[in-house]
Amino acid sequence: MAWKQETSIALATVLSLLLVTFYQMIINMGFLDFSLVNSLSIIPKIANHPDQIHRFITSAWLHGSWLHILSNIVVIALAGVPLEQRMGKRRWILVYFIGLLGGNIAWVLTHPDSISPTLGASGAAFGILGAYMACWPNDRIEFPLLFFIRAWPVWGIVAFRLGIEVWNMYQIEAGQSVTNVAHMAHLGGFMLAWILARPIARGAPSELDDSSDISIAGSTASKAARDAATAKMGSLESDPWSEAGVGLKEEAARILKRLREEGDELETRRAWLEELAEQVICPVCDGEVHAVISGQNCTLKCAHSKNHINWP
């Protein structure tokens, strides 16, 4: 359904995780004599049995608590949606499953005799971060870090989250901490997606970031590349809605005005274009409008036909 209606697969995945969690809650209240955890979670000691292979997938839709699922859907929504816009739905789904499989495989290989059930979409969530880091590390996305929700560079988010994972694993190995969190699954999901993401993303809607310059200021490329991208910025004087005689709603008109006033910088223009895409429809077919990123440039395109709108 999400595919046919051009709905974000990342957000549809978040919804599916929440629905399964509600179902878990109902079962845990004793209304049904059935255990999802015993039937569908990863149990390393039996994971290699042919009739238990399904657990490598199904375990990613189960969670141990509301805090557990919240920590995962924050990543899947806030990092997954822009990654999906970058690489497209099919590639995103592939990366998601690579992450969850990488996490579960890493956990089974490092804990082969464990009979404790392991569950959660953490491997998939870290896989999203791994793929984003491999392909577009300089993108800035809204994300909560250190109690601040602001636009952080992807490489900064990854450094912070991986740093916590490595520190926790060190504490456990040193005997200074005991936990039921599968940190190795997090690293496994991240690493496998990071390794495979660039080959998968070739031919995606957005060009891969080939810049090796990851600076503290979050620069997205060398000065020469930035100048070239700036030269490709189209004119904002006219717009498809005015040309088609279609009036914009108040909020869309306000955003368009701000875009024209402040859209002379790459990052600012992209931010306003992304906001505008959420407020307008195609003046030709009334379909959805997407903000498409190509290198450092952003353009608005109709979800149904690139011939309808390709602006600026």
For residue 213, is it within any domain? no
47 plus 164 within the same structural domain: yes
> Tell me, what amino acid is at 161?
R
Determine the Cα–Cα distance for residues 40 and 58; give it in Å rounded to an integer.
Answer: 6
For residue 26, is it within any domain? yes
Domain limits for position 102: 9-201
For residue 4, is it within any domain? no
Q: How many CA atoms lie within 13 A of 301 on its CB side?
A: 14
In three-state secondary structure terms, 152 is strand
Dihedral sign, Cα of residue 239, residue 242, residue 246, residue 248 = positive
For residue 306, is it within any domain? yes
Whether the Cβ atoms of residue 89 and residue 121 lie closer than 8 Å to each other? no
Q: Which pLDDT score is estimated for 101? A: 98
193 plus 233 within the same structural domain: no
Determine the Cα–Cα distance for residues 310 and 291; give it in Å rounded to an integer.
Answer: 10
Q: Which tokens in the block code for residue 300? A: 């608005």
Residue 8's Cα: distance from chain center in Å?
11
Q: Say which CATH number the domain at 61 has.
A: 1.20.1540.10
- When computed from its CA atoms, the radius of gyration of the chain, rounded to whole angstroms, is 22
239 plus 183 within the same structural domain: no
Q: Which pLDDT score is estimated for 270? A: 85
80 plus 194 within the same structural domain: yes
For residue 206, is it within any domain? no
For residue 166, is it within any domain? yes
Q: Which tokens in the block code for residue 67? A: 């805090």
Preceding omega of 312 cis (within 30 degrees of 0): yes
The number of distinct structural domains making up the chain is: 2
Strands, E assignment, the chain: 140-145, 148-153, 289-294, 297-302, 310-311
Q: Which pLDDT score is estimated for 268? A: 82
116 plus 241 within the same structural domain: no
108 plus 178 within the same structural domain: yes
Q: Which pLDDT score is estimated for 121? A: 96
Q: Which pLDDT score is estimated for 218? A: 42
Determine the Cα–Cα distance for residues 98 and 57; give it in Å rounded to an integer.
Answer: 10
124 plus 35 within the same structural domain: yes
Domain final residue pick, 170, 201, 232: 201
Q: What averages of pLDDT result for each successive group of 10 residues across the chain (312 residues)?
A: 66 96 85 77 93 95 93 96 92 98 96 93 98 94 88 94 91 76 93 97 85 44 70 89 89 90 84 88 91 84 88 91
For residue 169, is it within any domain? yes
Residue among 286, 278, 307, 305 nearest 85 (CA):
278
121 plus 21 within the same structural domain: yes
Domain final residue pick, 201, 236, 254: 201
Residue among 271, 263, 283 nearest 301 (CA):
283
Q: Which pLDDT score is estimated for 119? A: 94
182 plus 275 within the same structural domain: no
127 plus 251 within the same structural domain: no
Q: For 177, phi and psi rounded to 5 degrees?
A: -155, 150
165 plus 242 within the same structural domain: no
Which residues sit opposite 81 in a β-bridge? none
196 plus 231 within the same structural domain: no
Residues 6+ apart with CB under 8 A from 279: 248, 249, 251, 252, 255
For residue 3, is it within any domain? no
